[in-house]
């Protein structure tokens, strides 16, 4: 095993699968099974899920809504996804705990770092909902923050593309994929990995990032066992 403790960032949009909105059950179960596979190997897993399949604060602002209001709505969207993921994990026998950055104690534990770490040590998957609990931060920033707090060995950013490319591979099929990059190279080449806040948090705290295709079955296991999948960003 290359990584003992990971923070997995899942995109909310990816949860839509082929749907236009909401959660595709097949995709959800696929993700849950991938997580189970590495949990069975003994990897300690924290997960942050986005909310873009349900609501995006930035888009709401473009439509005239106050950004703060929109961002809180987006945080609630991450809770819906987190609850769905927890239910999916539970349905296949994976022990998990859901912690929320915004207190909603009827449905989730509050985020308590020490408690989260204890859950991980006991082999429970810990899902971190409600982003950072603050407006103006993305769920990528939440992933970076939680990764640092739980002392994760790496952030695994699951996407629908194979890694980091010289250009958007969905727009330019000739775009070149990188296997390895340094944080400085990502800055200098102005590559889109995460938003700057999230990226800087990783850089300053020396948390490597692997961007990989989460939709390819078996990929998550390959990443944690050290196979050459996706793009690794490190110092």
- Residues near ligand GTP (CB under 6 A) are 97, 105-110, 118, 122
| Among 202, 213, 208, 119, CA closest to 159 | 213
Q: Among residues 82 and 231, whose Cβ is nearest to ligand GTP?
A: 82
Q: Among residues 97 and 146, whose Cβ is nearest to ligand GTP?
A: 97
Tell me how far, at minimum, the Cβ of 28 lies from ligand GTP, in Å.
Answer: 20
Q: Residue 2 gets which letter from DSSP?
A: -
| Residue whose tokens read 């102005």 | 190
CA 71 to chain centre: 17
Strand ranges inside 64-153, DSSP E: 96-100, 109-110, 125-129
β-sheet with 125-129: strand ranges across: 109-110, 96-100, 125-129, 44-49, 5-10, 154-159, 209-213, 231-234, 180-182
Tell me how far, at minimum, the Cβ of 128 lies from ligand GTP, in Å.
Answer: 13
Token code pair at residue 133 = 């609990």
Tell me how far, at minimum, the Cβ of 122 lies from ligand GTP, in Å.
Answer: 6
Q: Among residues 79 and 202, whose Cβ is nearest to ligand GTP?
A: 79
Tell me how far, at minimum, the Cβ of 62 lies from ligand GTP, in Å.
Answer: 34
Q: Among residues 106 and 190, whose Cβ is nearest to ligand GTP?
A: 106
- Rounded CA separation 123/43 (Å): 8
Tell me how far, at minimum, the Cβ of 104 lies from ligand GTP, in Å.
Answer: 8
Q: Among residues 87 and 196, whose Cβ is nearest to ligand GTP?
A: 87
């Amino acid at each position: 095993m290359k990584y003992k403790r990971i923070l997995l960032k899942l995109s909310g949009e990816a949860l839509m699968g082929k749907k236009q909105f909401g959660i595709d059950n097949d995709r959800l179960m696929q993700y849950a099974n991938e997580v189970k596979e590495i949990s069975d190997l003994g990897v300690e897993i924290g997960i942050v899920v986005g909310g873009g399949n349900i609501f995006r604060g930035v888009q709401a602002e473009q439509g005239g809504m106050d950004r703060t209001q929109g961002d809180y709505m987006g945080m609630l969207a991450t809770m819906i996804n987190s609850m769905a993921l927890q239910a999916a994990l539970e349905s296949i026998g994976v022990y998990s705990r859901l912690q929320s950055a915004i207190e909603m104690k009827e449905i989730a534990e509050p985020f308590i770092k020490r408690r989260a770490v204890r859950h991980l040590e006991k082999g429970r998957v810990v899902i971190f909902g409600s982003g950072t609990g603050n407006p103006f931060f993305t769920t990528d920033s939440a992933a970076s923050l939680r990764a640092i707090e739980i002392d994760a060995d790496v952030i695994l950013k699951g996407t629908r593309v194979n890694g980091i490319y010289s250009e958007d591979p969905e727009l330019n099929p000739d775009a070149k994929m990188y296997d390895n990059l340094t944080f400085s190279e990502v800055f200098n080449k102005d590559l889109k990995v995460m938003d700057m806040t999230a990226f800087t948090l990783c850089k300053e705290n020396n948390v490597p990032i692997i961007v990989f295709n989460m939709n390819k079955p078996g990929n998550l296991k390959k990443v944690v066992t050290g196979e050459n999948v996706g793009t690794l960003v490190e110092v």
